[in-house]
Amino acid sequence: MAEKPKKPQKLKARLPRGLEDRGPAAINATRAMVEKIRAVYELYGFEPVETPAMEYTDALGKFLPDQDRPNEGVFSFQDDDEQWISLRYDLTAPLARYVAENFDALPKPYRSYRFGFVFRNEKPGPGRFRQFMQFDADTVGSATPAADAEICMMAADTMEALGIPRGSYVVKVNNRKVLDGVLEAIGLGGDENAGRRLTVLRAIDKLDKFSADEVRKLLGPGRWDGGEEGKGDFTKGAELSPADADIVLAVTQKRDDWKEAIAAAETYLAKSEVGQAGVSELEEIAKLVAASGYDADRIRIDPTVVRGLEYYTGPVYEVELLLDTKDEKGRPVRFGSVGGGGRYDGLVSRFRGEPVPATGFSIGVSRLQAALTMLGQLDARAEFGPVVVTVFDRDRVADYQKMVAQLRREGIRAELYLGNPKNMGNQLKYADRRNSPCVIIQGSDEKARGEVQIKDLIEGAKAAAAIASNQEWRETRPAQFSCAEADLVAKVREVLARHDVAWG
């Protein structure tokens, strides 16, 4: 007896780790956010530019590892010419390539903004995705600290345009030259000390999370996560002497007054030319933002700001949300940084062989959207769907399609029900699932009278939820009514206006 043929195995539908599908509610919230950010950036005179999601790997910057297959941190592949191409890690390195390639045709300084998805080949985790959206603005071709000050002011204005009240965010500013000067002062200059310098910077970056005593351990021999030797994981320290650790902590200590922070830096950086330059730039930025009415509650000097990418060469800034909220399980959540940037004078220069100053800022749209949604500043619901014209008589589809076209010509979102028209109940259920504000119904009796029925689904839902004593209210605002065919558009508009539904 012949074997029964095996049933073909179904392909399992599965989303790759570290990625997410997004529905109408999330997409609409992103659109609303992006438009508010765009309005602020354009108010400051920035113009849009768009670069591809892929670049030659060597164009993405020195922060990428040097290995045979450069896939650590980025997603890379070889094209048919055996050249390595990578998905963009951020939006800044592609801009540097674009400016260098079109240098002579662009006005300088060149002010541009762009937004889109970036890709990181990193281990996914809660709130940590391999694809996420950023919105950047950059000024290329200006070395003045006024360009950095302007970016900081724009970052503050953007937060407020998104509905984050003053006092609930802060733009923190530091300067990598100050940090370089500190490292130089304690004898960690030169290429041979690159590893220890990075360890020191990582320790400074922990000042927002750990006490100064815990950071001192990271600057010295190292730190046990459990607080005591042998407990938890061990993080190797920078092995600085106690005196050198004191200098690092004295300069990077958080202070309420920017003048105190700058004075502390000057005390320890008197013999460092690069450190003094950093102090001077911070002082200039502080004066410029103060002159424009941005007090320390909006923009402040914060010596703990490090920023991660290696290409930063001067002022660095970070936007931090100060609001505390709770997640869906009631646990406290502090969102922290939702954007940042800095000066990267060497990135365009790699292509040009000449100095090209640049500074820029990036908002983590995906992260900020999650924060704003949790804080109630973004409507997480989907927008209302289209008006649905139902099919009562399948032989009259042309009549129904004519109604749809009439509504669309007047700028009203509308669609014809394209499923099986046999059951009117299923058509109404479909309209509910589409979040339709109303449906249009016309049977043979209505057609003979030159009328249509309009069923207000929003009002109907309210009526269904109302208690018996609201009978009079339901009768005065009926959920379904008739009107002349000629009045279809006007009556639909009345329904949409009643519920503040956008027409388009």
Domain boundaries, given as residue ranges, for the chain: 24-53+88-186+249-374, 195-239, 387-498
380 versus 189: the higher-pLDDT residue is 189
Taking 90 as the threshold, does the pLDDT of residue 43 lie above it? Answer: yes
476 versus 347: the higher-pLDDT residue is 347
Region 65-72 average pLDDT? 48
Strand ranges for 120-167 from DSSP E: 131-140
Region 253-257 average pLDDT? 77
- Residues listed for the chain: 504
pLDDT value of position 476: 46
In the block, tokens 């009796």 appear at: 445
Alpha helix ranges (H) inside 220-321: 242-252, 258-268, 273-291
Alpha helix ranges (H) inside 392-466: 397-409, 424-433, 444-449, 457-465
- The domain made up of 387-498 has a fold known as Rossmann fold (3.40.50)
Taking 60 as the threshold, does the pLDDT of residue 66 lie above it? Answer: no
Taking 60 as the threshold, does the pLDDT of residue 469 lie above it? Answer: no
The pairing of strands 76-78 and 299-301 is unpaired
The Cβ of residue 37 has, within 10 Å, a number of other Cβ atoms equal to: 23
Produce one character per residue of 139-161: b if its CB has 16 or more CB atoms within 10 Å, e if not.
Answer: bbbbbebebbbbbbbbbbbbbee
Residues in contact with 288: Cβ distance below 8 Å, sequence separation at least 6, in sequence order? 145, 146, 149
Task: Give the SS3 label for residue 318.
Answer: strand
Region 460-482 average pLDDT? 62
CA distance 138 to 426: 52
Q: Which CATH architecture has domain 24-53+88-186+249-374?
A: 2-Layer Sandwich (3.30)
Task: Give the SS3 label for residue 19.
Answer: coil
Locate 28 and state its tokens.
């609409």
Q: How many CA atoms lie within 13 A of 234 on its CB side?
A: 10
The Cβ of residue 250 has, within 10 Å, a number of other Cβ atoms equal to: 14
Q: How many CA atoms lie within 13 A of 191 on its CB side?
A: 0
Angle formed by the axes of helices 457-465 and 424-433, to 10°? Answer: 90
Mean pLDDT of the chain: 87
Locate 115 and state its tokens.
């937004």
Q: How many CA atoms lie within 13 A of 276 on its CB side?
A: 4
Taking 50 as the threshold, does the pLDDT of residue 67 lie above it? Answer: no
The pairing of strands 358-364 and 332-343 is antiparallel
Locate 139 and state its tokens.
């000024």
Region 372-387 average pLDDT? 77
What DSSP state is assigned to residue 16? P
Tens-place pLDDT, residues 90-124: 999 999 999 999 999 999 999 999 999 999 888 88
Question: Residue 139: beta bridge partners?
Answer: 111, 359
Q: What is the pTM of this model?
A: 0.83
pLDDT value of position 2: 61
pLDDT value of position 8: 78
